Amino acid sequence: MTSFAIEISDLQKSFGEQIVLDGINLNIQTGSVFALLGPNGAGKTTLINILSTLVKPDKGIARIAGNNVETDVEAVKQSISLTGQSAAVDEVLTADENLRMMGRLSGLSVAASRKRATELLNYFDLTNAAHKRVKTFSGGMRRRLDLALSLVVSRSILFLDEPTTGLDTRSRQALWDIILKLAASGVTIFLTTQYLEEADQLADDIAVIADGRVVAQGTAEELKAQISGEMIELRDENDRIIQSFPTDGTVQDLRRILDEHVENVTNCTHVSIRRPSMDDVFLELTKKKQEVSSK
């Protein structure tokens, strides 16, 4: 038994002339939360679609729980659950009917489906809306139901394609709490996101992808360490940044920067030191990639 839930080696995919995945290599630990971070069009959804057997790769191998996604389709489907980018819920049915339908389709008996639906409605805080048609739901409720539908029977690997896109802060936080609770229960979670904060908050391991390639991989801390250290920011009395300089964070370097620059910068009254945010990492990494590809 391998310790990797998902193994991806040299995965390639093109749609016509357009190269979407250009040799992806990733190994994802069983029981971890993995975030695939990238801008629109980076190939995130295509990768998820290949891993969930909806799309065939042109080249390379992907294994889910040891099963090849191309040749062991049924075995792969038995171990995964997919929550796609658009909330895949039946708008005409009620939340309860959606859950019971999914229970029956997953091989549960009528009674077991009903019981499971009640549990999930409660867990996802949808009990009050259980018998309302999904058409009337807010974005956050829809997303919660969508995730609940993916959990009707527990699969060992959960794919979440941009789970919080389009949600307000409160709904996003609620969904994050649920994802962390699921992760704590031992499910392997593979999520894609455009939000650095989300990857930072949820994931044990992050891969940044741009133009179909993994441009960086590691923990949030490791990624932040990849780009040059801290910044010193000179601010005016209203706390607006006037100018900023990279620093190694030593007393000597701070003194040097202040000596050299404060005289020349008018209105400088305040100083702050900032560690790079995930945004800095992200912009840095995707910028590098674009420079390489434009050469």
Partner 1 sequence: MNLSTVNKTASARVTSSVFIGRGLRHSLRNAEALIMAIALPIMLMLMFTYIFGGAIDPSGNYVNYVVPGIILLCAGFGSSSTAADVADDMTNGIIERFQSMPIKSIHVITGHVVASLARNLLATGIVFGVAFLVGFRSDANFLEWLGAIGIISLFILAFTWLFAAIGLFASSPAAAGSYGFVLLFLPYISSAFVPTETMPTWIQGVAENQPMTPVIEAIRGLLNGQLDSNYVWWALGWCLVILAVSYLWCKWMFQRKTGRR
Nearer to partner 1, 26 or 187 (CB): 187
The residue from 39, 56, 269, 277 that contacts partner 1 (CB under 8 A) is 56
The residue from 2, 9, 39, 54 that contacts partner 1 (CB under 8 A) is 54
C-alpha distances in Å from residue 17, one per residue of 13, 20, 60, 180 = 10, 9, 18, 39
- Asked if 19 touches partner 1 (CB under 8 A), the answer is no
Phi then psi for residue 7, to 5 deg, are -125, 125
Overall size of the chain counted in residues: 295
Contacting partner 1 within 183-202 (CB under 8 A): 185-187
Tokens in use for 125?
């805080």
- Asked if 155 touches partner 1 (CB under 8 A), the answer is yes
Q: Applying CB under 8 A, which part among 27-35, 74-82, 252-260, 272-280 lies near partner 1?
A: 74-82
- Total number of residues that touch partner 1 (CB under 8 A): 44
Nearer to partner 1, 17 or 74 (CB): 74
Nearer to partner 1, 35 or 120 (CB): 120
Nearer to partner 1, 185 or 238 (CB): 185
Nearer to partner 1, 122 or 228 (CB): 122
- Asked if 104 touches partner 1 (CB under 8 A), the answer is yes
User: From the CB of 166, what's the least distance to partner 1, in Å?
Assistant: 13
Nearer to partner 1, 161 or 233 (CB): 161
CA distance 273 to 284: 19
CB-count burial class (<10 Å; 0-12, 13-18, 19+) for 165: middle
Residues near partner 1 (CB under 8 A) are: 15, 52-56, 74, 77-82, 84-93, 97, 101, 104-108, 119-120, 123, 133, 149, 151, 153-156, 182, 185-187
